[in-house]
């Protein structure tokens, strides 16, 4: 199993607390400043200072820039990030977090996501928190992100939208479907940005997974709370032989049941989803209400592609909803290589799992060989297997 990052939310989480904890884990501030400079925000400089919280040495982020506060729509923020050119993995994570955050705000205010126009996304510090966190995760080469119960305070907070309850409506939307613990502390502890980062990029686990702890980092915000440890704890955990897993990662499972599509449309949708980044697409025959025969569409997706794939499913099938759940898959190690078969250069996957190794030819190449040799595909496959057998 790969490297896991576990967030223990002792006192909630905000974007800057998450970033501070990652810096405490070893992400150089110089690296972040160099990368964040690509955002072209005038005068932007971030620093990590040491602060004591409950006797624990924590990191606290400070940020400086000369750009005045601005209110922006989601497309404006995404454009800033894309022009920065952070790379596909970082940009994908940033866009997924921002999309989920914007949807939560849109639902809270009863408007379309494209109409969201507010300071929580538009503020420079939120852009820095999200971009900085995604850059830091990429730097640490984290395979899996987990987080504990979502902790929140109580009472009310003053925002530019007026006085709101704790949790704020957007945060409450982001909490849906997750285990939550309310602390008897009269402050907001979990911010929309913190909730969006955790619930978009990670999966919830009320207990830290087994494994070897390699490092622990602590991040704190500005507020000090008497008689309570107001910091976020982040732990890097290595793989454990006891886990029974060799390789794995977090994926999203997207499902919807339909009884109104033709076979032609189903085939078209499946092809479209694969072209847009789905890891796997399948249809299962089912019986639905009123004994109608139908199909269950199941899509396996990387979490950062889930929003776009969900949109594609609804728009192209006219289904009324898609179920999304974060899960974990176990996979064999694999690598691609070129080899010769029947006088052709073919692509192969070399796979291994717990000491077992096997080779698999790409089916398209096998089809070409069978056509050139004028033999049935199954005969070409049998010949390939026989040639790869160890004497």
* pLDDT for 334: 80
* pLDDT for 1: 47
* pLDDT for 390: 54
Alpha helix (H) residue ranges in 276-305 = none
Q: Does one domain contain both 200 and 101?
A: yes
Cβ count near 7 (within 10 Å): 26
* Separation between Cα atoms, residue 358 and residue 90, nearest integer Å: 33
Domain boundary among 189, 218, 243: 243
Cβ count near 169 (within 10 Å): 17
Instruction: Of 186, 354, 179, 330, give the one whose Cα is nearest residue 249.
Output: 330
Q: Does one domain contain both 198 and 71?
A: yes
Please tell me the least confidently modeled range out of 226-240, 316-330, 367-381.
226-240
- Percent of the chain scoring above 90 in pLDDT: 54
Yes or no: say if 277 and 309 are a contact pair by the CB < 8 Å rule.
Answer: yes
Tokens 């987080």 label which residue? Answer: 147
Domain boundary among 189, 213, 243: 243
Q: Does one domain contain both 284 and 216?
A: no
Q: Does one domain contain both 59 and 171?
A: yes
* pLDDT for 372: 93
| 26 dihedral zone (left: phi>0; alpha: psi -120 to 50; beta) | left
Q: Does one domain contain both 216 and 314?
A: no
297: domain CATH number is 3.30.70.1380
Query: Average pLDDT, whole number, for the chain?
Result: 88
Q: Does one domain contain both 272 and 176?
A: no
Q: Does one domain contain both 198 and 291?
A: no
Phi, then psi, of 65 in degrees rounded to 5:
-155, 165
Instruction: Of 67, 66, 77, give the one whose Cα is nearest residue 118.
Output: 77
Q: Does one domain contain both 368 and 220?
A: no
Give me the domain span that covers residue 232. 4-243
Better pLDDT: 142 or 244 = 142
- Kindly report, residue by residue over 343-358, the tens digit of the pLDDT: 889 999 888 888 888 8
- Kindly report, residue by residue over 173-198, the tens digit of the pLDDT: 999 989 999 998 988 999 999 999 99
- Which two three-digit tokens encode residue 8? 């223990």
- Which two three-digit tokens encode residue 163? 């006085």
Q: Does one domain contain both 139 and 50?
A: yes
Confidence of residue 122 (pLDDT cuts 50, 70, 90): low
Q: Does one domain contain both 120 and 232?
A: yes
pTM assigned to the model: 0.62
Please tell me the least confidently modeled range out of 91-95, 99-103, 206-210, 212-216.
206-210
Is 244 a residue whose pLDDT tops 50? no
Distance in angstroms between the alpha carbons of the first and the last residue of the chain = 32
Q: Does one domain contain both 14 and 100?
A: yes
Q: Does one domain contain both 15 and 81?
A: yes
Angle separating helix axes 192-201 and 15-24, nearest 10 degrees: 60
Yes or no: say if 121 and 102 are a contact pair by the CB < 8 Å rule.
Answer: yes
- Our count of domains for the chain comes to 3
Yes or no: say if 326 and 144 are a contact pair by the CB < 8 Å rule.
Answer: no
Is 117 a residue whose pLDDT tops 70? no
Helix, coil or strand: residue 56: strand
Report residue 68 CA to chain centroid gap.
Answer: 31
Domain boundary among 219, 243, 267: 243
Task: List, in order, residues 6 or more apart from 41 with CB less than 8 Å away.
Answer: 65, 67, 124, 127, 128
């Amino acid at each position: 199993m790969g490297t896991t990052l576990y967030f223990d939310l002792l006192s909630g989480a905000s974007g800057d607390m998450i970033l501070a904890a990652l810096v405490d884990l070893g992400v150089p501030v110089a690296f972040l400043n160099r990368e964040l400079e690509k955002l072209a925000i005038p005068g932007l400089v971030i620093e990590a200072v040491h602060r004591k919280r409950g006797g624990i040495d924590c990191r606290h982020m400070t940020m400086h820039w000369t750009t005045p506060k601005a209110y922006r729509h989601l497309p404006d923020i995404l454009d800033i990030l894309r022009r920065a050119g952070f790379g596909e993995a970082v940009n994908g994570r940033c866009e997924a977090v921002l999309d989920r955050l914007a949807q939560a705000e849109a639902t809270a205010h009863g408007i379309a996501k494209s109409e969201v126009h507010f300071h929580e996304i538009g503020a420079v510090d939120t852009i820095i928190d999200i971009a900085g966190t995604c850059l830091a995760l990429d730097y640490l080469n984290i395979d899996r992100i987990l987080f504990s119960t979502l902790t929140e305070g109580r009472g009310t907070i003053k925002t530019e939208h007026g006085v709101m309850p704790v949790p704020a409506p957007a945060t409450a939307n982001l909490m849906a479907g997750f285990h939550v613990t309310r602390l008897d502390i009269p402050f907001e502890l979990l911010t929309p940005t913190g909730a969006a980062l955790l619930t978009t990029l990670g999966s919830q686990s009320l207990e830290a997974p087994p494994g070897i702890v390699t490092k622990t980092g602590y991040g704190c915000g500005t507020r000090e709370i008497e008689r309570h440890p107001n910091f976020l704890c982040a732990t890097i955990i290595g793989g454990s032989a006891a886990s029974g897993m060799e390789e794995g990662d977090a994926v999203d499972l997207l499902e919807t049941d339909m009884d109104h599509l033709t076979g032609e449309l189903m085939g078209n949708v499946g092809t479209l989803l694969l072209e847009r980044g789905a890891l796997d697409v399948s249809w299962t025959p089912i019986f639905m209400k009123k004994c109608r025969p139908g199909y269950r569409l199941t899509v396996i997706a990387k979490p950062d592609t889930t929003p776009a794939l969900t949109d594609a499913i609804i728009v192209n099938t006219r289904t009324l909803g898609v179920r999304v759940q974060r899960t974990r898959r176990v996979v064999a190690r694999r690598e691609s290589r070129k080899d010769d078969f029947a006088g052709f250069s073919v692509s192969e996957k070399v796979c291994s799992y717990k000491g077992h190794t096997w080779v698999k030819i790409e089916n398209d190449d096998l089809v070409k060989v069978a056509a050139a040799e004028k033999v049935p595909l199954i005969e070409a496959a049998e010949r390939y297997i026989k040639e790869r057998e160890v004497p």
